[in-house]
Structure 1
Amino acid sequence: MINALRHVKKGEPDWAPVSSFQSTANVKPYRFADPSFKYLVLWDMPGCSTGDVPTDSYFFEQKLFAFDFLVIVSDGFPGTAECALAREARRFGVPFAFIQSKCDKELRSLAEENGEESVSEKVKKKFFDEQKLNFNAIVNGDINGAVHFLVSSPVLLNLEKNYEYMLDEDEFKNYVLEVVAARRGLHESTGEHRASKRNCI
């Protein structure tokens, strides 16, 4: 996800290591080449509840209260650890969003089950509606109404080539920009501080 969001392919400079297991041992920042995101920095964090990373103290030990926005990524629906992380974020007023990744694989599987060679809009709508309904059933109580996006790394990397799998990718990127801009007091279109803009007028 770190690479897909920044449109960085394997072998290119600043490519983030990817593994089926926990591959991030230390916190590491990654910047965007896209000028639209020049004021944003993605911080790759050790996974919550994976390896030797404790769950109970994760939010505080990783100092997540200092971040402008938390992207909570999981292959499927959020588990106990992800929901606990979201509760802490909400308690401390840190904006967050749940990201359900690898949706292209789910869509491809559904299309095959329906005897389709490509993913139809009907299949996409059915998948989208079911995932949102199930997510809302899981995330309730004190994190009810949490933001949830269905995305795929191939779509983030190349929308034109993988358009048939597109779900919430554009909405996700726009949401991050809007929230961070609001937190930092930036103009979404220019990335300049509102105070500086006023001083220039």
Structure 2
Amino acid sequence: MVQIQTDYSNLTRERNELNNSYNILAEEQDQLQKRFEEMNNERKDFQRMIQDKCHCGCWRSFGSKYYYISSEQKTWEESTEDCRQKGTDLVIINSEEEQQFLIDLNKRVWIGLTDQEKEGVWKWVDGTALSTRNWLPSQPDNYREEDCAEMKVNVHRSFLKWNDIPCSQNNYWVCETVDV
């Protein structure tokens, strides 16, 4: 009889501990759900803001990102600054799909690639080293102090479209948002 009483007391204690754990987990789940909803609403607000700007025809979505395609031409530095003022940066090409998206714009644009820091060492504007290479044949050639990269159009049907040109040249540009 004493053993039954002890077992009953132990089971009651374990049940109470499990109930406490359940209540704590339920509260954490509620907090996580609220935070998820807040973040989802922030994402929707950002998307609405971008869509409002799309009426001017300058923002386009692709995948989980938005891209600003300029309608005027500036130097690479001026283009970089314009992107930063928008809270973005010049486009960093991370996939074949993104490369094709930019090709499909059919517009000669700056991309966020430069070797200004050290000649021949190409880096993206976020400081990452170049891993994918989509240079036109015989590019980069640094023909005239060419330290900035552009995406050319109307040159053969190849996937290879990058070209190095002087950063002081005027060009259209593409800014890229972070994942939303």
Larger radius of gyration: 2
TM tier, smaller: under 0.3
Please state which structure has a larger fraction of its residues in strand: 2
What is the TM-score of this pair, normalised by structure 2? 0.24
Please state which structure has a larger fraction of its residues in helix: 1
What is the TM-score of this pair, normalised by structure 1? 0.22
Q: State the structure with bigger RCO (CA 8 A, min sep 6), 1 or 2.
A: 2
